[in-house]
Chains A and B, each alone.
Chain A
Amino acid sequence: MDAKASFKPVAADGIDRSLVIRHLRKEYRSGLAVLKDVSLTIEGRGMTAIIGPSGTGKSTLVRCINRLVDPTAGEMLFMGQDLAKLRGRALRTARRRIGMVFQEYNLVERLSVIENVLCGRLGYLPVWRAWLRKFPPADIDRAFRLLDAVGLGEFANIRADQLSGGQRQRVGIARALMQDPDLVLADEPTSSLDPKTSVEIMELIARRAGERDIPVIVNIHNVDLARRFADRIVGMSKGEVVFDGPPRALEDSHLMAIYGGEGWLE
């Protein structure tokens, strides 16, 4: 992670994958804002970790970006489009370039591992191909290589519900990468995993996204993991951004502002 010193906001291939969030607001029930006027600019490479207590709107923020949750107000500019305004086909086209890794993996349990990975191509394929499982040979080959890359090459034809938590999350990562994404969102990817597996999963996300030089936004409870893997940390509290800076700038006083209290720090 010594690259941090000479950090450039644009990837080596010259494509600008930065995300600009302006005045984002989300109310599930009118009047009760979960996100209050969030503005953030996320550079087009590296990992940004969002930390904060439960129920503070981290998850809502990430889900607003790929519109699994519709924001109430605000704009999200990404690769020349306002994600907040997209609908129908345009929204799907934007979504297929945004990979997502979920807390509970969200694999389709009754499909095989490779089918789950191939789900990442659905945005690019007509329905009949999905129905008959006639995926292009190049996609199938890539799915196998991705499974090799996440260490599950031998598990392609196992049903997803037979895997352990860590294995499932690896499949989830492979599925997100299969989308050939310009941005990876990870919503609490390690919260259901044991500490050792959590580190492995974070390493995997950081390495695979680093190879592609694409930005990652990860919601995470574990401050140590955030410090260890992220290039930038955003602290949220009660729907607002209260800290934004590199990991080394994050001090106990900030954590107290984010989480409140201090007894837990020991």
Chain B
Amino acid sequence: MTGATAFLAGPAGDKLRRWHRFTLAERIGRSGFYLLALMALVWSLQTIEIIPEFLYDAPKQTADLFVRMWPIDWPWYPKVVHEALIETLHTATLGTIVAVLLASLTALLAARNITHSVTLNLIGRFILVATRSVHAMVWALFFVAVFGPGALAGTLAIAVHSIGFTGKLLSEAIEEARPGPIEALTAAGASPLAILLKGYWPQVKPAFLGIAVFRWDINVRESAVLGLVGGGGLGMALDTALSNLYWDQVGLVLCVIFAVVIVTEIAVTWARGKII
């Protein structure tokens, strides 16, 4: 401290002023939250079932995993995996197309500026929430039970699960549409279908395409694992390899999935650049 303090000896005198970052209520709220989080952590750590023998074994098992994966069984690719890969890509794409179709209808139902009935809005919203909360793999379990194992079950699982996500974003895009052009068309006496096609569609088209492409990217990842519960595609090959304990084949499938994910990500980035 140099001469600085001298001029600062103001009227506040020798009594130091205090400062707290939060008000008392905020501090109580935050401390309460931290306490709760800490309790949840301790409770979870104490009661969660961890088998120590397995844990001690983990480094050995992990090393074993990689040793068994190497060398990767490349010759298996043309025999089984290639076909599974094609199936996965078709499952994802077809599932996305069906989902977008169903989601558009649901989104129209849920959008308050299109459907002027609170009951129908709520039904639309419920469909969106319900399809989204149940995971694609759980949907796949359902459809496998109904349609038997195979790509049909996988496609439907992808389609139904994607309705929620796609429909939610779509209905938001529709609700954000500017009312100007729509009012102009209504004033000109256009039919409801014409209003939809010429008033709303041009406005939501970029969002629509963007959402569809984004969802397709997610669906490629999802459909790669659906086969584990019988949904066809790469997951089926993975399941076979896992149950036979052929880790070199598991390694191959993982490599293929990894490659597909990277390629789709690149493709999607490119496509989004084109749309926007």
B43 cross-chain contacts in A, Cβ below 8 A:
none
Q: By CB atoms of chain A within 10 A, which of B1, B3, B12 has the most? A: B3
Cβ-defined contact, B8 with A146, below 8 A: yes
Q: Contacts A142-B8, A146-B8, A149-B8: A137 and B18 contacting too (C-beta < 8 A)?
A: yes
Cβ-defined contact, A140 with B19, below 8 A: yes
Cβ-defined contact, A141 with B2, below 8 A: no
Q: How many residues on chain A are close to B (CB under 8 Å)?
A: 27
Q: How far is the CA of A143 from the CA of B8 in the complex (A)?
A: 10
- Bitwise, B1-34 to A at CB < 8 A (1) or not (0) is 1111101101010001111010000000000000
Interface of B is mostly: loop
Cβ-defined contact, B1 with A180, below 8 A: yes
B12 cross-chain contacts in A, Cβ below 8 A:
141, 144-145, 148
Minimum Cβ distance to chain B for residue A148 (Å):
6
A146 cross-chain contacts in B, Cβ below 8 A:
8
Closest to A135 in B: B19
Cβ-defined contact, A141 with B16, below 8 A: yes
Q: How far is the CA of A182 from the CA of B19 in the complex (A)?
A: 27
Minimum Cβ distance to chain A for residue B25 (Å):
14
Minimum Cβ distance to chain B for residue A113 (Å):
11
Q: How far is the CA of A138 from the CA of B7 in the complex (A)?
A: 15
Interface of A is mostly: helix
Is A223 at the interface (CB under 8 A from chain B)? no
Cβ-defined contact, A115 with B16, below 8 A: no
Q: Contacts A13-B3, A180-B4, A212-B2: A148 and B16 contacting too (C-beta < 8 A)?
A: no
**Residue in A12, A13, A140, A149 whose beta carbon sits within 8 Å of that of B16 in the complex:** A140
Cβ-defined contact, B8 with A145, below 8 A: yes
B1 cross-chain contacts in A, Cβ below 8 A:
180
Minimum Cβ distance to chain B for residue A135 (Å):
8
B8 cross-chain contacts in A, Cβ below 8 A:
142, 145-146, 149
Cβ-defined contact, A211 with B2, below 8 A: no
Q: How far is the CA of A13 from the CA of B1 in the complex (A)?
A: 12
Q: How far is the CA of A144 from the CA of B18 in the complex (A)?
A: 9
Cβ contacts A to B, 7 pairs, < 8 Å: A12-B3, A140-B18, A144-B19, A156-B19, A180-B4, A212-B3, A213-B3
Closest to A134 in B: B21
